[in-house]
Amino acid sequence: MPRPHKLIEIDWPDYGMPAPPPRPSRESLLANLRLMREAMAQRGYTHLVLYADREHFGNLLWATGFDPRFEEAVLVVRPSGQPLLIAGNECFPYTQVSALVAAGDIRVELCQSLSLISQPRDEKRRLLDIIAGEGLGTGSKVGVAGWKYYDADEVDDPVHALEVPSLLADGLRKLVGHANVANATDLFMHPGHGLRATVTVDEIAVFEFSNSVASAAMQRMLFALKPGMSDFEVYAAGQVGGLPLGCHNTFSIGANRPFGLGGPTGEIVRIGDPMSFNVCHFGSNIARSGWLAKAAGELPAPAADYLDAFAGPYVAAISEWLKLMQPGVRGGDVHRLIADTLPFEQFGIFLNPGHLIHHDEWLSSPISAGSELPLRSGMYMQIDIIPSHPAYNSSRMEEGIVIADGALQAELGARHPEVLSRCLKRRDFMRNTIGFDVPDSVLPLSDTAGIVPPYFLAPNTVIGLG
């Protein structure tokens, strides 16, 4: 039974800003390379080809410590020897950011076809000629990882359906035969067996820093809000950090609100309007929805009972959701909890109630109707449960948490004791100040975890649970 809700006054906690973590080490990236080769062997692949661009970078960043900027990039991995990273004009020097490239564990070759249109094309070697030089030919079996895989309800032949550019897909099929080129994206992104479906303690430290930077910007925006400000001014007040964006940062008020994913456009903060916004970096996404008001009396009449009819029950349901964030719980049980607790007719929740997050904002999700996939220690979950209503608009506590058993927490404490300490303090705050039922297996990564102010112009007034 969900806990009763109430309004409480709090001082927002200050856990201190973490020190920026180092880039992925050579040792950690070599470990990732070993995992990729083990997965290749299980599938019988002679080659694994990773494609990435600015929007779809997660698998390549995990594999190499390098993410393409402006351009595209391709990584070719064989069962042994040095993988080959292929980059364009502007990314070619940036590949040195990878500890594997810097140490000579990965070779790098320039392919100007991966560069932007009209840039120099003096180097005439073609992309498929470069890839063919890695031993592809008759008898090769190639797995291709982009950013998506498909099931039989979507396409006739999901094993061989590729979402990478035709230049790459058609070229590989010509080199080794259509039947020998398979979609391998699930090796990285599947919620059950994907290599990125769980995180290491070093990745937890990286993602905790990202969450801290994003949540600090969120807090600054909330406390800067004043009627008459433009959305540009509010966003500027957030002093959003310089970390790369994991998705477009949204800011929905006024005429921009129905578009959902829109950013600042010059709309004005007005009392009595709803507002939704987020700050998303690689490895974090902090989002809130509420009303531009100090109290319920400033809301329009159809939304006057927003707290009791909508936001309060939502926060209570999040507490129930958190109770299930333990190893072994089936994803379908989590889905059913939210479907029963927040009925679609009232709350309009359409997307999965929670998903995996990594460098990219949405990896995949073990949570769906009827899912038998178990939650596991090391899963980095996004509390991405998005209600929607024509009168109440929305409420939101979008945050990142890691499911961690005792062994993983002990490892985190040994390698990053300050990270574990902050996570435990956040968990205590959520339990003791807000009233959430947070199990010992949950490590909150964000400084705003647990804080849901229904009225944005009174940010110290938040929803607590009795």
Q: Is residue 33 part of a domain?
A: no
Say if residue 141 is in the same domain as residue 262: no
Instruction: Confirm whether pTM is higher than 0.85.
Output: yes
Say if residue 177 is in the same domain as residue 227: no
Q: Is residue 27 part of a domain?
A: no
Count other C-beta atoms under 10 Å from residue 184's C-beta: 25
What pLDDT shows up at residue 324?
98
Which of the listed residues 183, 209, 228 is the one where a domain comes to its end? 183
What pLDDT shows up at residue 227?
97
> How many separate domains does the chain show?
2
Say if residue 359 is in the same domain as residue 385: yes
Measuring CA to CA, how many Å separate 128 from each of 118, 132, 162, 170, 352?
Answer: 20, 6, 16, 10, 38
What pLDDT shows up at residue 262?
83
Cβ–Cβ under 8 Å, residues 195 and 154: no
Say if residue 272 is in the same domain as residue 149: no
Dist CA 455 CA 288 (whole Å)? 11
From the list 307, 289, 456, the residue with the least C-alpha distance to 386 is: 289
CA atoms within 13 A of residue 289's CA, in its CB half-sphere: 26
Q: Which of the 8 DSSP states describes residue 390?
A: T
Dist CA 144 CA 161 (whole Å)? 10
Say if residue 334 is in the same domain as residue 437: yes
Say if residue 441 is in the same domain as residue 359: yes
Say if residue 76 is in the same domain as residue 210: no
| DSSP SS3 for 419 | helix
Residue type, position 84, single letter? L
**CATH number of 143's domain:** 3.40.350
Q: Is residue 28 part of a domain?
A: no
Residues of the chain with pLDDT under 50: none
Cβ–Cβ under 8 Å, residues 124 and 31: no
Q: Is residue 293 part of a domain?
A: yes
Print the domain residue range for 259. 5-20+196-465
Say if residue 205 is in the same domain as residue 170: no
pLDDT tens-digit profile of 380-428?
A: 999 999 999 999 999 999 999 999 999 999 999 999 999 999 999 999 9
Dist CA 59 CA 187 (whole Å)? 10
Q: Which residues contact 138 (CB under 8 A, 6 or more apart)?
A: 176, 177
Q: Phi and psi at residue 184, in whole multiples of 5°?
A: -115, 15
Q: Phi and psi at residue 167, in whole multiples of 5°?
A: -50, -45
Q: Is residue 31 part of a domain?
A: no
Q: Phi and psi at residue 439, in whole multiples of 5°?
A: -75, 165
Say if residue 116 is in the same domain as residue 225: no
Cα 193 versus chain centre, distance = 18
Measuring CA to CA, how many Å separate 272 from each of 238, 289, 291?
Answer: 22, 13, 7
pLDDT tens-digit profile of 90-107?
A: 999 999 999 999 999 999
Angle at Cα 341 formed by Cα 336 and Cα 342, nearest 5°?
100
Dist CA 303 CA 292 (whole Å)? 12
Q: Is residue 39 part of a domain?
A: no
